[in-house]
């Protein structure tokens, strides 16, 4: 009878783990340029999985044809947006940029004269320039890296093809990847793994699908209200409001500041009221909308799983901007919410507590995402 195969000693296991960790760090460092495209490919795939699962159920298609049909539908929608929305939006954005530059030049000209008070000479222009430099240093991690990333993503056809191809196979092979990840979990902890994966899945599904829906709703709502009130560049401001919904808490302040400046500088395009009155109307309506958004739209469209205290979100946005640029800003909220789920589980295990309280000894009702249900055939 053959002798039983010897087990690895604790020292051997530790050595192998450290070698694997070092290899992982080495690969991440040398292939760091591919990290952002891989994240984008995963997000694109994750967003299209519900559509593919719906096509499989309704049209009775296999996984491959359903995935191909979903990507063709996405292509048609993108082309339609480019042909219908982009031209007028680009014109308004260009006009808005010209107005902002002219406003900054007017302020510089106005503050160019020095003033002497009680024997002290005050140079407003130098103070204004120092403020601009400070603001540039604060906003550069968010906007400069983001603009550089957008430029590279658009200009590099190779990366665009890479993202689409990788996301296509992630969607097509999602059931297999799902079974593979389940097999990696030790049998004693497989139930915990499924529950944690289900909770994190609900967080990201709520964020990605809900955030896109919320951005479209808010963009259309602000465009219509802007046209009714005579807000300058209503279409561009509506699009900006939709995009800023991806920055929870912070986006509201950015939009309101921009809108108030436009109201003070230009005023309403048709309401016969002073500019300062129009600015007060814009501020009041936006404060009302902010409460409506936080208490009604976000809980019902995005869901309550992603909701975090405003201070945590702002700190997460700043940290994400420093670490990953604009992508870190957009994904700060669901990343923190996912870390909260994992941290709660680790904390409970360290203290020998129940990681899923409230369930008692009953069987755990494991989440079953829709796009993994009865769609394992390829």
User: Which structural domain range is residue 51 located in?
Assistant: 35-69+143-184
Query: Residue 115 pLDDT > 70, yes or no?
Result: no
Q: Is 344 contained in some domain?
A: yes
Note the pLDDT of residue 362.
44
- Which residues partner with 115 through β-bridges? 122
Same domain, 348 and 285: yes
> In terms of pLDDT, which residue wins out, 18 or 291?
18
Position 377 confidence tier, pLDDT thresholds 50, 70, 90: very low
Note the pLDDT of residue 297.
75
Same domain, 292 and 224: yes
> In terms of pLDDT, which residue wins out, 179 or 147?
179
Same domain, 151 and 198: no
| For residues 277-281, average pLDDT | 90
Same domain, 179 and 208: no
List pLDDT tens digits, range 8-66. Answer: 888 888 999 999 999 989 988 888 878 888 888 888 888 888 889 899 999 888 888 99
Note the pLDDT of residue 15.
92
Q: Is 251 contained in some domain?
A: yes
Q: Is 376 contained in some domain?
A: no
Q: Is 261 contained in some domain?
A: yes
Question: String of b and e for 82-96 (b: at least 16 CB within 10 Å)?
Answer: eeeeeeebeebbeeb
Note the pLDDT of residue 280.
92
Same domain, 161 and 233: no
Note the pLDDT of residue 7.
81
List pLDDT tens digits, range 320-344. Answer: 878 877 778 778 888 888 998 999 9
* Tally of domains within the chain: 2
% pLDDT > 90, the chain: 9
Same domain, 202 and 281: yes
Same domain, 171 and 199: no
Q: Whole-number mean pLDDT of the chain?
A: 78
CA-CA distance, 366 to 342, in Å (whole number)? 16
Q: Is 207 contained in some domain?
A: yes
Note the pLDDT of residue 364.
43
CA-CA distance, 165 to 159, in Å (whole number)? 10
Same domain, 267 and 196: yes
Note the pLDDT of residue 19.
93
Note the pLDDT of residue 136.
52
Same domain, 218 and 328: yes
- Which residues partner with 116 through β-bridges? 121
CA-CA distance, 216 to 220, in Å (whole number)? 6
Question: String of b and e for 2-19 (b: at least 16 CB within 10 Å)?
Answer: eeeeeeeeeeeeeeeeee
Residue ending a domain, choose from 125, 158, 184: 184
Q: Is 115 contained in some domain?
A: no
Task: Name the token pair of 85.
Answer: 């929305």
| For residues 263-292, average pLDDT | 87
Same domain, 59 and 154: yes
Query: Residue 196 pLDDT > 80, yes or no?
Result: yes
List pLDDT tens digits, range 76-114. Answer: 888 887 777 777 767 766 776 676 667 666 666 666 565
Same domain, 168 and 212: no
Query: Residue 369 pLDDT > 50, yes or no?
Result: no
Same domain, 195 and 58: no
Position 131 confidence tier, pLDDT thresholds 50, 70, 90: low
Q: Is 25 contained in some domain?
A: no
Note the pLDDT of residue 275.
87
Q: Is 75 contained in some domain?
A: no
List pLDDT tens digits, range 234-276. Answer: 888 888 888 888 776 678 888 888 888 888 888 888 888 888 8
> In terms of pLDDT, which residue wins out, 69 or 5?
69
């Amino acid at each position: 009878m053959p002798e039983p195969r010897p087990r690895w000693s604790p020292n051997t296991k530790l050595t192998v783990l450290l070698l694997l960790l070092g290899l992982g760090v080495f690969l991440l460092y040398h292939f760091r340029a591919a990290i952002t495209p891989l994240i984008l490919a995963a997000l694109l795939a994750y967003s299209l999985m519900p559509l593919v699962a719906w096509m499989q159920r309704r049209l009775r298609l296999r996984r491959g044809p359903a995935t191909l049909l979903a990507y063709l539908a996405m292509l048609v929608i993108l082309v339609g947006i480019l042909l219908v929305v982009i031209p007028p939006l680009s014109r308004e954005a260009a006009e808005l940029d010209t107005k902002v530059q002219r406003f900054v030049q007017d302020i510089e000209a106005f503050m160019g004269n020095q003033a002497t008070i009680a024997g002290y000479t005050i140079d407003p222009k130098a103070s204004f320039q120092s403020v601009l430099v400070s603001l540039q240093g604060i906003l550069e991690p968010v906007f400069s890296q983001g603009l550089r990333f957008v430029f590279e993503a658009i200009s590099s056809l190779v990366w665009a093809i890479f993202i689409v191809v990788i996301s296509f196979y992630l969607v097509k092979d999602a059931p297999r990847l799902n079974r593979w990840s389940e097999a990696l979990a030790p049998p004693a902890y497989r139930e915990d793994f499924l529950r944690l994966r289900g909770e994190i899945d609900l967080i990201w599904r709520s964020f990605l699908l809900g955030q896109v829906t919320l951005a479209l709703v808010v963009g259309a709502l602000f465009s219509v209200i802007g046209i009714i009130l005579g807000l300058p560049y209503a279409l561009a401001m509506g699009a900006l409001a939709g995009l800023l919904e991806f920055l929870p808490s912070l986006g509201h302040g950015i939009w309101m500041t921009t809108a108030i400046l436009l109201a003070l500088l230009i005023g309403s395009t048709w309401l016969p009221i002073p500019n300062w009155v129009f600015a007060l109307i814009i501020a009041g309506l936006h404060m009302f909308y902010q409460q409506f958004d936080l208490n009604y739209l976000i809980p019902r469209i995005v869901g309550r799983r992603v909701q975090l205290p405003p201070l945590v979100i702002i700190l997460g946005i700043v940290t994400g901007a420093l670490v990953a640029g604009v992508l870190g800003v957009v994904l700060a909220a669901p990343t923190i919410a996912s870390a909260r789920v994992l941290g709660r589980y680790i904390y409970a295990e360290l203290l020998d507590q129940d990681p899923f309280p409230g369930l008692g000894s009953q069987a755990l009702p494991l989440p079953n995402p829709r796009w993994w249900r009865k769609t394992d055939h390829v």
